[in-house]
């Protein structure tokens, strides 16, 4: 009987304390996913590293998977323990996570990159280089707790731009829940342009930058050679002479659209505040309108001449009639 009891105790101890074999380790943002060999017992499992002890948040016995929420970055060895006995050791490097990036004006601004495990390699940072969508972010500062980075982003434009972070000349392989976007363009006002001859168009607003495209009117006429001011608050461009006539010229308020950035990263604003001005005597007006001042003046002069001629003839006729009607009779 005693032998049977001892055998059962040894058997239970073997089953309860069998060694855990780690098959794979993956990270998904803030979670560490560890797949192990098949076990019959998942009680009292913990993950330990750098004086940190974690209990699994999810245990999937069917897939033999353990999920731990990472409180602090892992850099080096971690162990899987059961009942305070170490059964497996693995080396792992936590990937940094970027959770938020503040926006910036197109003229450039200080931005804040918020995340986790940004310096999880626990090495002294000798160089820190950041660019976003190809635009450099200068003078970066990493806080002592590695929860955010501040830097001064150069002027640029676009949305959904991908950050690039290099620590000690090594590109960080990180997870990101958010891409970066400059503030979108905003149209406040614009001038009118002659509907026949075209001319210079000026648009005022905020967050303009190159590359930029300006389109006006219901026929989407492109305004050529757009030039953004140094304060990024106005655009000047040229509308070429149009093909409109007096009958086809669109009247009333038309749309003006500003597109900043290129491709899928472009941002735009459109306002219905543009209008074509009407100058019937412009050099590019229709022929009928051009002939008006040419025909009216000579016609008016000819009319005056005819009137004067009629008056003179009437007066002469009247005088001649009086003379012929006077007859002297002598008896």
Q: What is the pLDDT of residues 225-265, one digit of tens each?
A: 999 999 999 999 999 999 998 889 998 999 999 999 999 99
- In terms of CATH, what superfamily is 97-176? Immunoglobulins (2.60.40.10)
**CATH numeric code, 2-93:** 2.60.40.10
Does 45 have pLDDT greater than 70? yes
What average pLDDT does range 211-221 have in this prediction? 95
Domain boundaries, the chain: 2-93, 97-176, 186-277
State how far the alpha carbon of 252 is from the alpha carbons of 54, 204, 239, 277, in Å.
Answer: 68, 20, 18, 10
Q: What is the pTM of this model?
A: 0.67
Same-fold call for 2-93 versus 186-277:
yes
Q: What is the pLDDT of residues 47-64, one digit of tens each?
A: 999 888 999 999 888 888
State how far the alpha carbon of 182 is from the alpha carbons of 130, 135, 207, 271, 321, in Å.
Answer: 16, 11, 8, 20, 95
* Alpha-carbon span 193 to 222, nearest angstrom: 13
Q: What is the pLDDT of residues 273-297, one digit of tens each?
A: 999 987 665 555 544 454 455 556 7
Residue 235 · residue 189 · CB < 8 Å: no
CATH of 186-277, one of 3.90.550.10, 2.60.40.10, 1.10.150.120, 1.10.3470.10: 2.60.40.10
> Got the DSSP string for 75-120?
EEEEEEEETTEEEEEEEEEPPPEEEEE--B-TT-EEEEEEEE-TTT
């Amino acid at each position: 009987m005693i032998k049977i009891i001892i055998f059962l105790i040894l058997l239970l101890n073997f089953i309860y304390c069998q060694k855990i074999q780690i098959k794979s380790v993956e990270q998904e943002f803030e979670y560490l996913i560890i797949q192990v060999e098949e076990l019959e017992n998942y009680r009292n499992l913990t993950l330990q590293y750098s004086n940190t002890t974690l209990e699994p948040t999810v245990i999937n016995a069917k897939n033999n998977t353990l999920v731990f929420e990472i409180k602090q970055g892992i850099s080096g060895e971690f162990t899987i323990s059961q009942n305070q006995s170490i059964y497996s050791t693995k080396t792992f490097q936590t990937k940094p996570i970027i959770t938020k990036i503040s926006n910036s004006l197109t003229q450039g601004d200080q931005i804040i990159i918020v995340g986790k495990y940004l310096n999880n390699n626990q090495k002294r940072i000798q160089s820190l280089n950041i660019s976003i969508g190809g635009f450099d972010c200068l003078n970066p500062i990493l806080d002592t707790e590695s929860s955010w980075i501040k830097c001064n982003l150069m002027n640029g434009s676009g949305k959904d731009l991908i950050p690039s972070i290099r620590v000690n000349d090594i590109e960080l392989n990180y997870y990101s829940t958010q891409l970066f976007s400059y503030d979108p363009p905003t149209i406040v006002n614009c001038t009118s342009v002659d509907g026949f001859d075209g001319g210079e168009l000026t648009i005022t607003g905020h967050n303009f930058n190159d590359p930029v495209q300006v389109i006006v009117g219901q026929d989407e006429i492109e305004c050529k050679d757009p030039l953004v001011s140094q304060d990024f608050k106005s655009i000047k461009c040229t509308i070429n002479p149009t093909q409109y006539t007096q009958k086809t010229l669109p009247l009333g308020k038309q749309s003006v659209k500003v597109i900043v950035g290129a491709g899928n990263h472009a941002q735009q604003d459109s306002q219905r505040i543009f209008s074509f001005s009407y100058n019937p005597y412009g050099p590019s007006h229709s022929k009928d309108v051009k002939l008006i001042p040419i025909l009216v003046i000579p016609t008016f002069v000819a009319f005056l001449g005819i009137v004067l001629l009629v008056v003179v003839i009437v007066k002469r006729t009247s005088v001649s009639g009086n003379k012929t009607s006077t007859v002297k009779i002598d008896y």
